Structure 1
Amino acid sequence: MRYGLFFGDSITYGEYDGVFGGWVDILKRYALQKYNEGSHELILFNLGIGGETTDGLVKRIPHEMAARNAAEGNIVFISYGANDLAIKEDIQMVHPEKFAANILTAIQEAKKYSDDIYLVSILPFSNNVDGVVVASGKLRTNNEVLVYNQILKKITAENSLHYVDFHSAFLDDKEILLSADGVHPNEKGYGMMAEIAIPIIEKYL
């Protein structure tokens, strides 16, 4: 038996998807179906918390990893940035340098329990919220998404990790894959994310 641990914010949690429950929940059902058909057992934990930044991740990842450690190994997905890069009351929630340091700290913790670590790209934002202060008071830009995704790519390369590029998959069709808030995917978007991620978890089934 292996565990798959998905750390992230509301997009990991599956917010705004009343149909499938988000991409991680789709993967959970898929892994269970495969197990029932005779594949290896892979238990997936959705550890997404709405609004969380990497500051929250570094506080909880040591405890979360220690509490869920499978004998046959663990797969870890780290999916952050949409809140980190947001500006609220003229202050960026987590600056790029701190974001990079937090991700590296989380990786060090994950490596104590796992050889399979995936960094997940930040999705693009809809044109109608790009550079706009929304109801939550947060301002996000697609330019910042590129900056933070570049950090994730660099860390992936330098630490021999894996990168899951949802950003490229969404870019051309983001207006039909994102929900009305322009930040979270809709059920179609979450479905596409799951389609991209299924071949990854297939390797462990």
Structure 2
Amino acid sequence: MKRMIYALFFGDSITYGEYDGVFGGWVDILKRYALQKFHEGHNELIVYNLGIGGETTEGLIKRIPHELAARNSADGNVVFIAYGANDLAIKNGNKMVAPEDFTANIEEAIRIAKQFTTDIYLVSILPFSKDVDGIEVASGKLRTNDEVLTYNSILKGMTEKHSLTYIDFYSALVDDKEVLLSQDGVHPNEKGYGMMAEIAIPTIEKYL
């Protein structure tokens, strides 16, 4: 008997797939892959792209209880949490979400998600291009790769504390970031998104 499992991807514009006019981003690639597998006779994995551009973990904890309650499959749920690129940014002289608050928000998101599933994945923050590292961009945000390491360390610690799985896109992209990121230096280009999808496919395979 085939199962219908819901995979919910929470995140910001990188989860949404911004700047990828070819594939629509890594989550949309996974959505098409899951649909193809379903047509081949596998379980049905319904992929929900719940990425919102500019969102931080402050927004996540406000909406995650409602999003999960609205999309709760009797056959099982999988939750992906991909935040940090906006949280770590400095805007108007202030960190958008300080490390201690980021930690508390991720902790709360995990607590809520655990009410619906034990299959929870934390996704690393990506590196930034040298062209935007430490430079205030048009949006007024300033980001540094040093802060990426700090916030990724928090995410790794959370996965260990709660026995979750960490999806490490950072390590896969960092050496070739200048060719895998779009012109804005923050979002991946289609090559970068494609690589992210390839890394994530073995994870969703477990539910197909």
Instruction: Give the structure-1-normalised TM-score.
Output: 1.00
Q: Where does 1:16-55 land on structure 2 (aligned, <5 Å)?
A: 16-55=19-58
Identity of aligned residues (%): 76
For 2:106, the equivalent position in structure 1 comes to 103
For 2:169, the equivalent position in structure 1 comes to 166
Q: Aligned-pair distance for 1:102?
A: 0.1
Confirm whether residue 134 of structure 1 aligns to residue 137 of structure 2. yes
- Distance in 2 (alpha carbons) for counterparts of 1:39 and 1:161: 25
For 2:187, the equivalent position in structure 1 comes to 184
- Distance in 2 (alpha carbons) for counterparts of 1:21 and 1:110: 26
The residue identity in structure 2 corresponding to 1:53 is T
Task: Describe the superposition over 1:15-73 as per-residue Cα deviations: whole angstroms up to 9, x where unpaired.
Answer: 00000000000000000000000001100000000000000000000000000000111
SS of the equivalent of 2:78 reads strand
- Give aligned pairs, total: 205
For 2:88, the equivalent position in structure 1 comes to 85
For 1:13, the equivalent position in structure 2 comes to 16
- Distance in 2 (alpha carbons) for counterparts of 1:67 and 1:57: 15
Q: Structure 2: give runs of 5+ residues left out of the alignment.
A: none
SS of the equivalent of 2:84 reads coil
- Distance in 2 (alpha carbons) for counterparts of 1:25 and 1:171: 22
For 2:146, the equivalent position in structure 1 comes to 143
For 2:116, the equivalent position in structure 1 comes to 113
Q: Structure 1: give runs of 5+ residues left out of the alignment.
A: none
Q: Aligned-pair distance for 1:172?
A: 0.3
- Distance in 1 (alpha carbons) for counterparts of 2:72 and 2:21: 30
Q: Aligned-pair distance for 1:134?
A: 0.3
- Distance in 2 (alpha carbons) for counterparts of 1:70 and 1:32: 17
Task: Describe the superposition over 1:130-167 as per-residue Cα deviations: whole angstroms up to 9, x where unpaired.
Answer: 00000000000000000000000000001000000000
SS of the equivalent of 1:129 reads coil
For 1:200, which of 196, 200, 203 is the aligned residue?
A: 203
Q: Aligned-pair distance for 1:203?
A: 0.6
Instruction: Give the structure-2-normalised TM-score.
Output: 0.98
- Distance in 1 (alpha carbons) for counterparts of 2:7 and 2:77: 6
Q: Aligned-pair distance for 1:124?
A: 0.2
SS of the equivalent of 2:147 reads helix
SS of the equivalent of 2:54 reads coil
The residue identity in structure 2 corresponding to 1:25 is D
- Distance in 2 (alpha carbons) for counterparts of 1:158 and 1:54: 19
Question: Which structure 1 residue ranges, 4+ long, deviate > 4 Å from structure 2?
Answer: none
